């Protein structure tokens, strides 16, 4: 039996088709300034090549290539030929009408779309949470500083915040769920502190090796201009200073936030008493 050759797996066939495709697109580009149907012609060429690129029947392939070469001749001779331009416009209108007719037929035969299934309470809560996290991924440009409290709320009810300790980092929680930008700031600050701690641990190990180098220099009476352990000790002091400064700022921030909580409580009690009717 003769071996069946699939056209799309043939190198010669692919080269011929791609050459024809490029030539057609080039003809569309060359007439860009003088025709009004350029965009439609280019789209029609691209759509037909996508449609027929998987043809396997030799007769269908031959017919498709003949149609492509005829279109190439028609485009190349249409620059100064009004009759060919009219023919191209007619072919484009016919193709558009066929496409609209096919779409209308598909719409009629398409089964009626069922109404969407209502979400379960759990899925609704999950979708609401995801939407809230997307909305709060960035800080609002008009948001006030958290330390700029308490302030007047008018007729709105005052919600007293809760002072929360997130692994040593204080922050005020006004309601749940927690905004995404707040969580991002907390993770970033705690991640920075943890990196400092890991760096200090590594430096402590390096300090042991540096001391061994100093002892070796003493044993061999090597004249060195500086101590091996001195720069490591200075780095440890610097990291400890950053950690201490971070913790001190957290302590001061916690004290200021606690004052805000107390002030908010006082104002909430006063506003609640004012709204109660006199007996």
Give 193-214 pLDDT, tens digit per residue: 999 999 999 999 999 999 998 8
pLDDT band of 55, cuts 50, 70, 90? confident
Please state the rounded mean pLDDT for residues 9-36.
71
Q: Which residue has the higher pLDDT, 34 or 146?
A: 146
Q: What is the pLDDT of residue 209?
A: 93
CA atoms within a 13 Å half-sphere pointing along the CA-CB vector of 166: 19
Q: Average per-residue pLDDT in the chain?
A: 82
In this structure, of 96-105, 108-117, 210-219, the range with the lowest mean pLDDT score is: 108-117
pLDDT band of 33, cuts 50, 70, 90? very low
pTM: 0.53
Q: What is the pLDDT of residue 32?
A: 45
Coil vs helix vs strand at 166: strand
pLDDT band of 76, cuts 50, 70, 90? confident
Q: What is the pLDDT of residue 37?
A: 58
The CA dihedral of 219, 220, 223, 224, to the nearest 10 degrees, is: -70
Q: What is the pLDDT of residue 93?
A: 79
pLDDT band of 31, cuts 50, 70, 90? very low
Q: What is the pLDDT of residue 201?
A: 95
| CA distances from residue 92 to 45, 83, 104, 126, 237 in whole angstroms, order as listed | 10, 14, 18, 49, 79
Q: What is the pLDDT of residue 277?
A: 65
User: Which residues, other chains included, contact 1 with Cβ-Cβ below 8 Å and sequence gap of 6+?
Assistant: none
Res 252 pLDDT > 80 = yes
Q: Say if CB 178 and CB 267 are below 8 A apart.
A: no
DSSP of 245-279? HHHHHHHHHHHHHHHHHHHHHHHHHHHHHHHSPP-
């Amino acid at each position: 039996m003769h071996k069946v050759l699939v056209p799309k797996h043939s190198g010669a066939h692919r080269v011929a088709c791609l050459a024809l495709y490029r030539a057609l697109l080039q003809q569309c580009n060359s007439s860009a300034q003088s025709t009004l149907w350029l965009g439609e012609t280019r789209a029609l060429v691209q759509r037909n090549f996508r449609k027929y690129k998987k043809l396997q029947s030799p007769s269908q392939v031959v017919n498709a290539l003949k149609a492509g070469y005829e279109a190439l001749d028609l485009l190349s001779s249409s620059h100064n030929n009004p009759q060919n331009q009219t023919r191209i416009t007619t072919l484009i209108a016919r193709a558009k009408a066929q496409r609209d007719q096919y779409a209308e037929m598909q719409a009629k035969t398409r089964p009626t779309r069922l109404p969407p299934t209502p979400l379960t309470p759990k899925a609704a809560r999950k979708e609401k949470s995801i939407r809230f996290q997307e909305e709060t991924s960035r800080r609002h440009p008009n948001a006030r500083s958290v330390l700029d409290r308490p302030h007047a709320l008018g007729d709105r009810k005052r919600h007293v915040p809760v002072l929360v300790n997130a692994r040593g980092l204080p922050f005020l929680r006004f309601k749940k769920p927690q905004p995404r930008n707040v969580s991002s700031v907390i993770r970033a600050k705690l991640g920075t502190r943890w990196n400092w701690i890991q760096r200090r641990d590594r430096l402590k190990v390096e300090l042991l090796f540096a001391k061994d180098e100093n002892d070796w220099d003493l044993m061999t009476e090597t004249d060195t201009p500086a101590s091996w352990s001195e720069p490591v000790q200075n780095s440890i002091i610097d990291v400890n200073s950053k950690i201490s400064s971070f913790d001190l700022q957290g302590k001061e921030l916690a004290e200021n936030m606690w004052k805000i909580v107390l002030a908010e409580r006082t104002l909430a009690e006063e506003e609640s008493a004012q709204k109660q009717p006199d007996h």
